[in-house]
Amino acid sequence: MKTRILGFVALAAVMVVTAVALFVVPPDGNQGDAQRIMYPHVASAWLAYLSFGVTALAGIGWLWKRDLRLDAVAHAGAEIGVMFTAFAIWGGMMWGRPIWGVFWQWEDPRLTTTALLLALYVGYLLLRRLTDDPERRATRAAIVGIVAAIDIPIVHFSVEWWRGLHQTATIASPDRVLDPAAPMAFVGTLLGTLAAFTLTWLYLMIRRYQLARAEVAREEAVRLDRLMSARTAEVAR
């Protein structure tokens, strides 16, 4: 019941910030209406990193405590993280087209890092699907999730360098809006979007966690069932 209330609150919050971001906040002086994409875009990117952090921590927790509930948390984090990563990339491309003139900008370190992030965690989810035994799956997933999380800063750093050693980017980055000089309306809308999206994230995490637990319980039931019928057949013979 509490989760359901959280869901409704999150939905209402997202509706409010959507309306504010679309109709209340004035368009950006340079970028026009395209700048409005920044609000959900930044929120999605933040939640993607949060999710993958949760996955890595839950993975460490599993290796330490051997509690399958932690593995369910890791699973939920990875799946929701992939969703928000894809959403962040999509939003970035939609913004890039009118502002940069292209969908894809190789010189932007964040964009290329995020694309690799998506590949890393899609691999993680596929690996989970290919392993049947719950404890094996948890262990494999945990260490792959930990190494992926270790890789993220190295990737980011190297891509930043890759660009930086050549020329400095002249492109306006969406994050400049967070500048102290930025008008309060922009900052307030961004913070509101962050809060609303994080509430939604929390709701999704709880639901996905419950689902993951149910999936494991069902797997277990099927396995026991199979064992029992095999035993019964043996006894009958």
Contact between 225 and another protein per CB under 8 A? no
Number of residues that bind another protein (CB under 8 A): 31
Shortest gap between Cβ of 162 and another protein (angstroms)? 5
Contact 188, 153 (CB under 8 A): no
Extract the tokens encoding 172. Answer: 């306006």
What does the per-residue mask of binding to another protein show for 53-82, with x meaning CB under 8 A? ----------x-------------------
Contact between 162 and another protein per CB under 8 A? yes
Shortest gap between Cβ of 1 and another protein (angstroms)? 38
Scanning 16-24, 78-86, 133-141, 181-189 for contacts with another protein by CB under 8 A, the matching segment is 133-141
Would you tell me how many other CB atoms lie within 10 Å of the CB of residue 210? 13
| Contact residue for another protein among 150, 171, 222, 224 (CB under 8 A) | 150
Scanning 8-16, 27-35, 46-54, 115-123 for contacts with another protein by CB under 8 A, the matching segment is 115-123
Phi and psi at residue 236, in whole multiples of 5°? -65, -30
Please, which contacts does 96-104 make with residues 24 or more away whose CB atoms are closer than 8 Å?
98/31, 98/32, 98/34, 99/31, 99/34, 99/171, 99/172, 100/171
Scanning 35-43, 89-97, 129-137, 180-188 for contacts with another protein by CB under 8 A, the matching segment is 129-137
Extract the tokens encoding 140. Answer: 């494999």
Amino acid code (one letter) for 181: A
Residue 31 buriedness (CB in 10 A; 0-12 / 13-18 / 19+): middle
Extract the tokens encoding 169. Answer: 């980017």
End-to-end CA distance of the chain: 50
Scanning 138-146, 188-196, 213-221, 223-231 for contacts with another protein by CB under 8 A, the matching segment is 138-146
Contact between 106 and another protein per CB under 8 A? no
Contact between 119 and another protein per CB under 8 A? yes
Of the pair 8, 106, the CB lying nearest another protein is at 106
| Contact residue for another protein among 8, 103, 106, 157 (CB under 8 A) | 157
Contact between 105 and another protein per CB under 8 A? no
Phi and psi at residue 160, in whole multiples of 5°? -60, -40
Contact between 165 and another protein per CB under 8 A? yes
Handedness of CA 218, 224, 229, 232 (dihedral sign): negative
Q: Which of 59, 60, 91 is nearest to 77 (CA)?
A: 59
- Residue 27 CA neighbour count, 13 Å, CB half: 6
Positions touching another protein (CB under 8 A) are 63, 116, 119-120, 122-124, 126-127, 130-131, 135-136, 139-140, 142-144, 146-148, 150-151, 154-155, 157-159, 161-162, 165
